[in-house]
Amino acid sequence: MKNYELILKYEEIMEHMKWAQEIPYMSFPSDWEVKITPPHVGAVVRFRVKKGDAEVSIYLDCYDNLGCVGYPYWEVYPYEEDVFRCDMLDTESLLRAIGESISGQSV
């Protein structure tokens, strides 16, 4: 594998094994389609949620690579013409914000 050293360095920087243990489980509503996407631009995790014509983008930033929150946080876009952010462990608020984003797009 020609990029093995680069991949190992990236995994070391992003601490994949650490976050795999710390990211909480979530139960999504059955009418949401969830698409896992590769993390990029410094996110640790990225996924999209779709319901009907509404689509929401979500990422987890654990290092303030994409913002300046100061702790690991989820970001939901779009959300009320802006973004929504919450603590990584606050999955109740995250799921509520995703649902509100979907509802807002369906109006």
Domain count, the chain: 1
Predicted local confidence at residue 1, as pLDDT = 66
Calpha distance 41→76 (Å, rounded) = 16
What pLDDT digit, counting tens, does each position of 76-101 carry?
999 999 999 999 999 999 999 999 99
Predicted local confidence at residue 83, as pLDDT = 96
pTM of the model as a whole: 0.91
The parent domain of residue 16 ranges over 4-105
Own/partner contacts of 13-16, CB < 8 Å, gap of 24 or more, are 14/39, 14/44, 14/63, 15/62, 16/44
Of 4, 92, 105, the C-alpha closest to 50 is: 105
What pLDDT digit, counting tens, does each position of 20-78 carry?
999 999 999 999 999 999 988 889 999 999 999 999 999 999 999 988 899 999 999 99
Burial 24-42 (b: 16+ CB within 10 A, else e): eeeeeeeebeeeeeebeee
Average of pLDDT values for 6-32?
Answer: 94
